[in-house]
């Protein structure tokens, strides 16, 4: 094949040597005990492109952002496996060398559905997924699941949760996939710290790769969690305005976390800036002056214009000459 420089973008298929899979790359990043893998929350192609261009080592596909951007509805369990998987596949394909950690909610059902979920995520290029112990719409007499930092969550019994994780680990292993399985528990707000810890300890025995203790209430809790699970990477979820007080990468490192996700990092400024621009158009009858760094040309370049031009040229085409 040709020697196009395609370190960023869909044109990676033209590389002479295949890059590491997302799972392998994430495992490499986690080998360095002094490193914290920082994952900005992305929810569609443009925010993913921006995160890649900014040079982050990994990304996190937020379920809340996916629900809001694809469905236009709050994160209350309405997004389906197909919604989440297709979004994850698109994001993961933009640059396979940048691992994508993706929300997989409850696995979308019992062990059979979890098996299907894990299979589809693995084949979509996802580096890691997390499965939680909230109740889902398939559970009897259960209302919709919700964002981890909202109250009123309903938690399934331990055996139900463990069956999800066993199915996830067994499926990943049978596929001989490098994808990592993350066990998330939301039990802290409902049943307390000790229950959440016991659930994650059993998850480690089942064979998960990373633990995700949702809704940590104090820094003391955070330190204790990382000490209990020393040797197993711990993930910290930072939600401004949420119940967890930690916010900086340095704070996470001091506590012992190995991965930090910022689910709302891209979503919140997007809402703020777009709302302001819509108000400008509504009030003045014209948009704000164009910003060269975010104009149409810059957006096209960010989203792979130059890679597409290089592919066309390599193939002998002239479709983009002079663009």
**Longest Cα pair distance anywhere in the chain, in angstroms?**
64
**Domains along the chain?**
21-271 (3.20.20.60), 290-323 (no CATH)
Distances in whole angstroms, Cα of residue 317 to Cα of each of 225, 308, 311: 57, 11, 9
Helix (H, G, I), strand (E, B) or coil at 37: strand
CA-to-CA separations, 275 to 19, 118, 151, 270, in angstroms, rounded: 39, 37, 28, 8
Query: Under a CB-based contact definition with an 8 Å cutoff, are residues 88 and 141 in contact?
Result: no
Predicted confidence at residue 7, as pLDDT, reads 44
Confidence at residue 9, expressed as pLDDT on a 0 to 100 scale: 45
Strand partners, 184: 212
Measure the CA–CA gap between 321 and 301, rounded to whole angstroms. 15
pLDDT at 11: 41
- Low-confidence residues of the chain, pLDDT below 70? 1-19, 137-153
pLDDT recorded at residue 12:
45
| Chain segment 148-202, per-residue pLDDT in tens | 444 456 999 999 999 999 999 999 999 999 999 999 999 999 999 999 999 999 9
pLDDT of residue 189: 92
The predicted pLDDT at position 136 comes to: 81
> What is the pTM assigned to this prediction?
0.90
Q: Give the single-character DSSP code of 19.
A: P
Q: Contact at 8 Å (CB) between 131 and 181?
A: yes
User: Which segments of 52-192 are extended strands (E)?
Assistant: 59-61, 100-103, 128-131, 180-185
User: Which among 132, 175, 131, 171 is positioned nearest to 21, based on CA atoms?
Assistant: 175
CA separation for the pair 151, 161 (Å, rounded)? 19
Specify the pLDDT at position 319.
Answer: 81
* CA distance linking residue 112 with residue 158, whole number of Å: 18
d(CA 297, CA 104): 35
């Amino acid at each position: 094949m040709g020697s196009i420089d395609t370190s960023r973008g869909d044109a990676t298929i033209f590389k002479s040597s295949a890059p590491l899979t997302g799972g392998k790359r994430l495992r490499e990043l986690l080998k360095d005990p002094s490193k914290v893998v920082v994952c900005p929350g992305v929810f569609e192609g443009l925010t993913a492109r921006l995160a890649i261009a900014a040079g982050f080592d990994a990304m996190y596909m937020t379920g809340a952002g996916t629900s809001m951007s694809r469905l236009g509805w709050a994160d209350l369990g309405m997004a389906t496996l197909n919604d989440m998987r297709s979004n994850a596949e698109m994001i993961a394909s933009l640059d396979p060398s940048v691992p994508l950690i993706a929300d997989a909610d409850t696995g979308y059902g019992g062990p059979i559905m979890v098996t299907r979920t894990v299979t589809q995520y693995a084949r979509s290029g996802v580096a890691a997924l997390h499965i939680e112990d909230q109740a889902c719409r398939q559970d009897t007499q259960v209302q919709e699941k919700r964002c981890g930092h909202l109250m009123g969550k309903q938690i399934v019994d331990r055996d139900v949760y463990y069956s999800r994780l066993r199915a996830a680990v067994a499926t990943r292993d049978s596929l001989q996939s490098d994808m990592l399985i993350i066990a998330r528990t939301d039990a802290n707000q409902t049943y307390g710290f000790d229950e959440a810890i016991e659930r994650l300890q059993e998850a480690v025995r089942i064979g998960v790769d990373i633990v995700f203790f949702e809704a940590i209430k104090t820094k003391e809790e955070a330190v204790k969690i990382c000490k209990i699970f020393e040797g197993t990477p711990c993930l910290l979820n930072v939600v401004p305005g949420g119940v967890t007080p930690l916010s900086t990468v340095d704070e996470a490192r001091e506590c012992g976390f190995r991965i930090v996700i910022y689910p709302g990092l891209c979503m919140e400024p997007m809402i703020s800036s777009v709302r302001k621009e819509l108000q400008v158009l509504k009030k003045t009858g014209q948009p704000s002056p164009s910003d060269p760094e975010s104009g149409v040309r810059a957006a096209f370049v960010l989203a792979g214009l130059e890679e597409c031009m290089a592919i066309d040229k390599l193939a002998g085409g002239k479709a983009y000459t002079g663009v």
